[in-house]
Amino acid sequence: MLISMSNMTSESEDVITSGDCVTSPSVDEVSTERNMVGNDTLKKGPWTSAEDAVLVDYVNRHGEGNWNAVQKHSGLSRCGKSCRLRWANHLRPDLRKGAFTPEEERRIIELHAKMGNKWARMAVELPGRTDNEIKNFWNTRTKRRQRAGLPIYPHDICFQTNDNAQTQNMVAFDTSHVEILPDNTFQIPAVEFKNLELNQEFYVPNILDLPGGSLFDLPGGSLIPDGLGSTSCNDSFHFPVPKRVRRSDSYPVFDGDPNEYFPTVDQSFEISSSYDQNINGGDIASSSSCLFSGSHAFFNGNTSSSEPISWPQKMELPSLQFSTQMGSCNAAPSSPLPSLESVDTLIQQSMLIGQTKSDRDRGLLDAVLLQPQNLRTPKSNNNSEASVVPRDIPTDSSSQPDDWEAYGGDPMSPLGNSAASVLSEYTPHLSGSPLDEHQSIEAISVKHEAEEFGTKQSDREDEKSNHINCSRPDYLLDSPSWFGSSSNTAAYGNKDHCLVSDPIHALGDDDFGSDSDRHISGSPPFEGLHFESTGKWDDISEICRGPGNR
């Protein structure tokens, strides 16, 4: 350290700013030292090997922690945080460099399904890997799959542990209602919240934000049966309690008592993914095969955001992604679901509204989310979206609540509801989220068509089908634009209560070595936002691209 530093100051002076500096320490070491120490500023940018050496030496002597002391004691012109990151991400001896192995990749996917964007926690599960590494991997992977129009989660991730599901303890849920269909399909658990007061409104306040960030991370088991994430981990599906709960993630701390998770509800309700079921109908057994479709219920725009809730408002990506995809699977088992991720991303970002800087993303998400909501949920108790609906976006004015304006600008509007509004597109029949006739009919129609089409495995080569964009909020309503296409029939399953009986296909069976998936015509993110028949989405997209929305 000190040794290194002294050496560093005596060498050449060219300032190296590129990554090459790492490989040519002798050059930039000096520049670093001289330039930074001399003027009392902390150096930024790439680390030099000399700096690394200093840091390593320091840590070896003093151990990790107290990073701010590094600068003082070692003379390193780096802030404590920079030192910490450098150590954690690059210098730690136990780091495992190199590409992720297939096993690791799979694990990451599983973990992400469980945890969402909890990179640090995921890193804990992947010894030798850093959160940043995992994040980059995931983002890259996500982007790649987006382009390819592939679902983010492979079907096996979704269903691999179906078998275990029945044995899962559904904390806070009435496990007796959890049914796993035999045919690799999910039955949305008949979630029964004790004492839930629904008041005609399906209110599952951001349940997905339970610690661990996911609906599917419910203690003792998730709506996604443990299997969702457990291949290698034979993990008993730990309830991932974050070390820290962000303000935006405020939720009752789960200490093992399920009751804390679902406080004060006094009317039990059931969640069904079935399109043709009333949430309160209780015909759970016959409900759809797609858990996630049902899970959308949690995002249903009718969740009562008007009521102060302490549930986390920032929904975890995984749940959402999962839900979205699964929901989408309803429509097209094999269709690539091109922009769901995009939507998810948007949703995720927007979840932060009123909480973080992500306010800037509000417009886009809400625009995306609102339209469908507006179109079919006249009296949404969802108070979050209205304000950001682009004025020029055609909406079903007839369904527009009178107090539309009043809803606007509610900083506390949980965009989770907005997300719900998107997702509710696929889970229209939740109690308290009355669908307008149009939607109901459409949904039913879709269902019937699906039944007709049977379980034909989708033809992945069918480009047209690949372009079916299930993320389109109106893709159901706009069904004529693609339902009529025989090429799309492959997208439909034959389940009675699910547009698609085999979500597996919907999710795609290709994740690892996904390059092979490239044959599927890719859809750039947001491509799906174009309403082919309505054109509405073009407006939205355009608006969203405006200032403040990258």
Window of 140-148, 258-266, 302-310, 538-546 that interacts with DNA by CB under 7 A: 140-148
| Shortest CB 258 distance to DNA, Å | 21
| Shortest CB 346 distance to DNA, Å | 9
Strands (E), 62-196: none
| Residue among 117, 303, 427, 479 that touches DNA (CB under 7 A) | 117
Window of 59-67, 288-296, 325-333, 489-497 that interacts with DNA by CB under 7 A: 59-67
List the Cα angle 258/264/269 in 5-degree steps: 85
Distance CA 190, CA 177 (A): 5
391 binds DNA (CB under 7 A): no
519 binds DNA (CB under 7 A): no
What are all long-range contacts of 16-20, with beta carbons under 8 Å and residues at least 24 apart? 16/48, 17/45, 17/46, 18/46, 19/46
List the Cα angle 272/278/281 in 5-degree steps: 90
| Residue among 61, 143, 448, 519 that touches DNA (CB under 7 A) | 143
Window of 12-20, 204-212, 216-224, 502-510 that interacts with DNA by CB under 7 A: 12-20
82 binds DNA (CB under 7 A): yes
Answer positive or negative: Cα dihedral of 109, 110, 116, 121. Answer: negative
Distance CA 193, CA 202 (A): 11
Q: Which residue has the tokens 């691999």?
A: 160
Cβ closest to DNA, residue 22 vs residue 444: 22
Distance CA 428, CA 436 (A): 9
112 binds DNA (CB under 7 A): no
Window of 53-61, 132-140, 151-159, 216-224 that interacts with DNA by CB under 7 A: 132-140
Q: Which residue has the tokens 């693609």?
A: 482
69 binds DNA (CB under 7 A): yes
Beta-bridge mates of residue 180: 186
DSSP string, 356-369: SGGGGGHHHHHHHH
121 binds DNA (CB under 7 A): yes
| Residue among 77, 164, 319, 358 that touches DNA (CB under 7 A) | 358
| Shortest CB 103 distance to DNA, Å | 16
Phi (first) and psi of residue 195, to 5 degrees: 60, 25
80 binds DNA (CB under 7 A): yes
119 binds DNA (CB under 7 A): yes
Q: One symbol per residue from 307 to 346: x for binding DNA (CB under 7 A), - otherwise; what is it?
A: ----------x---------------------------x-
When computed from its CA atoms, the radius of gyration of the chain, rounded to whole angstroms, is 25
| Shortest CB 465 distance to DNA, Å | 22
| Shortest CB 434 distance to DNA, Å | 34
| Residue among 10, 38, 65, 257 that touches DNA (CB under 7 A) | 65
Cβ closest to DNA, residue 212 vs residue 434: 212
Residue 57 neighbours by CB under 8 Å, 6+ apart? 1, 3, 4, 74
| Shortest CB 99 distance to DNA, Å | 6
49 binds DNA (CB under 7 A): no
Return the DSSP state at 195: B
Phi (first) and psi of residue 186, to 5 degrees: -100, 140
137 binds DNA (CB under 7 A): yes
Would you tell me the crossing angle of helices 362-376 and 340-351 to the nearest 10 degrees? 110
Return the exposure string of 42-73: e unless at least 16 CB atoms fall within 10 Å of the residue's CB, then b: ebeebbbbbbbbbbbbbbeeeeeeebeebbee
Distance CA 100, CA 515 (A): 15
Pair of tokens at residue 550: 């990258």
77 binds DNA (CB under 7 A): no
46 binds DNA (CB under 7 A): yes
| Residue among 27, 47, 211, 274 that touches DNA (CB under 7 A) | 47
Cβ closest to DNA, residue 91 vs residue 233: 91
Residues that bind DNA (CB under 7 A): 17-20, 43-47, 64-69, 80-82, 84-86, 89-90, 99, 117-121, 131-133, 135-137, 139-141, 143-144, 147, 242-250, 317, 345, 348-349, 355-358, 361, 550
